[in-house]
Amino acid sequence: MPVLMRSASLTHYADLASSVGLVPHEMLAAVGLPLSCLDSTELRIPATAVMRLMELSAERSGEEAFGLRLSVTRRLSSFGVVGMLARDEPTLRQVLDTLTRYLYLHNESLSTRIHEDGGIAVIEQMLLPSVGAGRQSVELALGALYHTLCLALGKTWQPRRVSFMHPAPADLSWHRSILGSNFLFSQDHNGIALLSAELDAPLHFADPAMRQQVRKLMHDDLSGHPFTFREEVEQLIMALLPTGRCGADQVAMHLGVDRRTVHRRLSAHGTTFTQLLDDIRLEQAQRLLGYGDRKLTDIAPLLGFSSLSAFSRWKRGYPMDARAKKQKSPDSIGKRGS
């Protein structure tokens, strides 16, 4: 079943594409998206096609900051009914909680987590490995988050830092113009850091009465579950990998079930925990190595390995230059343990 997102993600795409010398309808055709995507914001379209469109647009136009430039047009209204609901929350923390909880109604491929330590909060954004997100999609997502924060905290607000996992482009002029100066590349996550106190600042534009009305209108949509069990496990694997504690037991604990339940329910999806773990590690390793500026000693811990030697042993058993191993049966892969 494809991972879907609303066609609102392509709002103002045609304008930007035309401005950098592209023909919008030709670009959509190249990735298999209908032209109606540009006229309607409510179509449900494959996330993989949108991700490919962003990368292809940057490649063909030579505009390295294509995704970031498109993010400038994003507002809470770009999130549809989810944005309507979040807009009237009393604090930024509650805005983000609402966006995080119901983001699947807008984009099934994107998830958000907030980490807090020592008075600093990091809002981390993660895209499902299966959608093939690249630099442009990451910068579009982080740029949209940045503009949401500016809407809440004021136009003069600046983040503590904006972190990107990919390396810096050759020209940083658009990044400086849009994000200011506090951004870093080749980091271990994609996210924005700010003061924890800023999360709890009251929002002057919040309207509690309107919030209640929108909640009533959205009742049916909000009752749905965003992810399949397999997708929930994939999200947890992505989040837990850098911690070095990403076993089936830890995932089961976060899901509130036991280890056997995880294996049984994944089996119903035709896979195993080990297979998902290896597939996500493979995708992450290929992406990090593809950036060209990462050492193996830096990549190993991001994939949950305690040492470079452990990473090397895994690579020998699961070569990154061939995805043929993904075609193994769940039983044959499961014998390697998890």
Pick the more confident residue, 69 or 224.
69
Note whether 239 and 153 are same-domain residues.
Answer: no
pLDDT of residue 136: 96
pLDDT category, 66, cuts 50, 70, 90? very high
CA proximity to 269, closest of 100, 130, 109, 133: 130
pLDDT of residue 37: 87
Pick the more confident residue, 207 or 15.
15
Last residue of a domain, one of 213, 245, 262: 213
Question: Cα-flanking dihedrals φ and ψ of residue 120, to 5°?
Answer: -115, 130
Say whether 5 sits in a helix, a strand or coil.
strand
Residue 125, in any domain of the structure: yes
- Checking if the pLDDT of 325 tops 70, the result is no
What 8-state DSSP symbol labels residue 203? Answer: P
Note whether 117 and 151 are same-domain residues.
Answer: yes
Note whether 234 and 321 are same-domain residues.
Answer: yes
Share of the chain above pLDDT 90, in %: 41
Residue 14, in any domain of the structure: no
Note whether 205 and 235 are same-domain residues.
Answer: no
Residue 13, in any domain of the structure: no
Q: For the purposes of burial, counting CB atoms within 10 Å of the CB of 13, is it exposed (0-12), middle (13-18) or buried (19 or more)? A: buried
CA atoms of 64 and 206, how far apart (whole Å): 36
Note whether 187 and 87 are same-domain residues.
Answer: yes
pTM of the predicted structure, to 2 decimals:
0.70
Note whether 208 and 236 are same-domain residues.
Answer: no
pLDDT digits (tens, 9 = 90+) for 298-307: 888 888 888 8
Nearest 5°: the CA angle 220, 225, 230 is: 160
Residue 53, in any domain of the structure: no
pLDDT category, 82, cuts 50, 70, 90? confident
pLDDT of residue 210: 66
Question: What CATH number should be reported for the domain holding residue 330?
Answer: 1.10.10.60
pLDDT of residue 53: 97
Note whether 132 and 166 are same-domain residues.
Answer: yes
Residue 322, in any domain of the structure: yes
Beta carbons within 8 Å of 167's beta carbon, 6+ residues apart? 185, 186, 291, 292, 293
Note whether 77 and 199 are same-domain residues.
Answer: yes
Q: Tell me which of 9-13, 165-169, 271-275, 303-307 is least confident.
A: 303-307
Residues forming a β-bridge with 44 = 6
Residue 33, in any domain of the structure: no
Span 243-272, average pLDDT: 85
Residue 21, in any domain of the structure: no
Beta carbons within 8 Å of 221's beta carbon, 6+ residues apart? 81, 102, 105
Q: Tell me which of 74-88, 94-108, 115-129, 253-267 is least confident.
A: 74-88
Pick the more confident residue, 91 or 254.
91
Residue 25, in any domain of the structure: no
Span 115-121, average pLDDT: 94
Give residue 278's domain range. 229-334
Task: Work out how many domains the chain is built from and give that number.
Answer: 2
Note whether 74 and 171 are same-domain residues.
Answer: yes
- Checking if the pLDDT of 292 tops 90, the result is no
pLDDT category, 70, cuts 50, 70, 90? very high
Last residue of a domain, one of 157, 187, 213: 213
